[in-house]
Amino acid sequence: MVSTRSHSYSDGTTEYVGYIAEPEGDGPRPAVMIAPAFMGLRDFEMETARRLAELGYTAFAMDYYGGGFRTDERAEAAQKMQEVNGNRRMLADRMVCALDEMRGLPGVDADRLAAMGYCLGGKAVLDLARTGAEFRVALSLHGIFDKPDFPTERMKAAVVLLHGWDDGLAKPPAVVEIAEELTEHCPDWEILGFGHTDHAFTNPAGGNYSEKAARRSWRWLTGTLEEHFD
């Protein structure tokens, strides 16, 4: 049985509202942080949290905008996205804050942490890894690969990119560029490309949804978590 709740936390200046799903029992158990797509923490990410909790993980869907922002309006979301894209150090700091919050949750094994993210959240998870933060593995699903405005540190987390090869927001030259960055800074990385697959392929509510790629990426994601939490 899975229990869920909203969870408020702060970095000292901004209040954030996330969502926790966890199985029964006291733990300690491994934990997975989920960074949402650019429209904020919505039902899709909360369902991901519940699915992970059913597998025995504490799942923490975090808030990188503040105030629990979420919207169904793409224009409003795009404006909020500009704010964090324009200050990637701020975004990375918010990711570190959320990771530390998850590390301290009751029942969490502080040594077995992972972070995953969708779209903008995939970029945010990569920026978290670029800070050299301590966690096991970063998983980016149809994430964006452009480098931030701060230097990449030696990564302690393994990195896995689950990528639609036809993604117009991360074209093949961007894939090559991040592969070169990871080769230099990350001791353990892999890229899985799904052919004939566009951006945001995991979300059934989106126009680019691919049932096949979503199923395969979930299998790869859960297998990766098992491997790195073993």
Cα–Cα distance, 84 to 98 (Å, whole number): 15
* CB neighbour list of residue 157: distance below 8 Å, 6 or more residues apart: 115, 128, 129, 133, 134, 135, 136, 137, 138, 186
Contact 31, 121 (CB under 8 A): no
Whether the CB-CB separation of 181 and 161 falls below 8 Å is answered with no
For residues 188 and 210, give the distance between their C-alpha atoms in angstroms, rounded to a whole number. Answer: 28
Q: Is the pTM of this model over 0.95?
A: yes
Predicted pLDDT at 4: 98
List the alpha helices (DSSP H) in 23-119. Answer: 43-54, 74-85, 88-103
Instruction: Say how far residue 168 (Cα) sits from the centre of its chain.
Output: 20
3, β-bridge pairs: 22
CA dist 111 → 9, 49, 128, 167, 225 (Å): 21, 20, 16, 34, 13
The tens-digit pLDDT sequence of the chain (230 residues) is: 899 999 999 999 999 999 999 999 988 999 999 999 999 999 999 999 999 999 999 999 999 999 999 999 999 999 999 999 999 999 999 999 999 999 999 999 999 999 999 999 999 999 999 999 999 999 999 999 999 999 999 999 999 999 999 999 999 999 999 999 999 999 999 999 999 999 999 999 999 999 999 999 999 999 999 999 99
CB 84 within 8 A of CB 14: no
CB–CB of 17/8 below 8 Å?
Answer: yes
* The two structure tokens encoding residue 230: 């073993």
Alpha-carbon distance 97 to 99, whole Å? 5
Q: Which domains does the chain have, with CATH numbers?
A: 2-229 (3.40.50.1820)
> What pLDDT is attached to residue 27?
85
* 216: phi then psi, degrees, rounded to nearest 5: -65, -40
* Dihedral, CA of residue 65, residue 70, residue 74 and residue 75, to nearest 10: -60
Alpha-carbon gap, residue 208 to 218, rounded angstroms: 16
